Amino acid sequence: MRAHTAATTILLLAALTACGGGGDDKADSSPEPAPTSVEKSGTVDDSQTMALGDSARTTGDGGTGILQITPDTVVFTKEGGGETAANGVFVVVTMKDKAMTAAAADEPAPISGGGWKWMAPDGEMVDTQVGNGFNVVMDKYNNADPVQPGAWQWRSKVFDLTPAQAKGGTLIYIDGEEKAFRWEMPSADSGPNVAEVKKQLEF
């Protein structure tokens, strides 16, 4: 009787162990869903880093319309538009803004926290209100009105930077949904319109 009871107990334990082990193996082998990469508002995602001349589809100011923005040319100069860089060098970036939907679209104003920033190699963020950059005006690249459906316009941004900030920086644009886009900037004059931009900078 004891032998029969012991044998029964062993069989029951073996069955329970097999069931428990199988359940655990199944749970462990079930693939977990891959984490979704969601960009937080206003943050910079390294996977989005682009080069000068690359285009980005961005949401317009207030979430209205879509702007395709293409930084086109960058020029480094100590003087331009009758102004002298307070911090050592002006970095002038021109961009082409094109409306992509049936609604007019505009870039967010700097006062809203959106628009253009320059990230120095050490990570410092600089906007266009620093130094004398905001005083530099170029007729062809001075457009600021909302871009109408089917149209495009040239714009520009001028940063007043130290030589260290200007060398190997990153151009950052924050759109109407607070999504950030970034372009790696060269350290020397680059782009198809360098000569024209320099001419526009003459005073």
Which tens digits make up the pLDDT trace of 53-85?
999 999 999 999 999 999 999 999 999 999 999
DSSP state of 181: E
Residue 33 confidence (pLDDT)? 39
Residue 203 confidence (pLDDT)? 62
Query: What does pTM read for this prediction?
Result: 0.76
Residue 92 confidence (pLDDT)? 98
Arithmetic mean of pLDDT, 21-37: 40
Q: 29: which 2 tokens?
A: 């082998």
Nearest to 128 by CA among 86, 180, 163, 96: 86
Sign of the four-CA dihedral 165, 170, 175, 178: negative
For 88-107, b/e burial (b = at least 16 CB within 10 A) is ebbbbbbbbbbbbeeebbbb
What CA–CA distance (Å, rounded) separates 100 from 68?
7
Residue 112 confidence (pLDDT)? 83
Residue 153 contacts residue 95 (beta carbons within 8 Å): no
Sign of the four-CA dihedral 40, 43, 46, 49: positive
N- to C-terminal Cα distance for the chain?
111
Residue 47 confidence (pLDDT)? 53
Residue 88 confidence (pLDDT)? 97
**Mean pLDDT of the chain, nearest integer:** 83
Give the pLDDT band (50/70/90) at residue 121. very high
Highest mean pLDDT among 20-24, 44-48, 83-87: 83-87
Residues in the chain: 203
Arithmetic mean of pLDDT, 45-50: 69
Percentage of the residues of the chain whose pLDDT score is greater than 70: 76
Give the pLDDT band (50/70/90) at residue 14. very low
Range of weakest confidence among 41-45, 145-149, 166-170, 185-189:
41-45
What CA–CA distance (Å, rounded) separates 21 from 191?
64
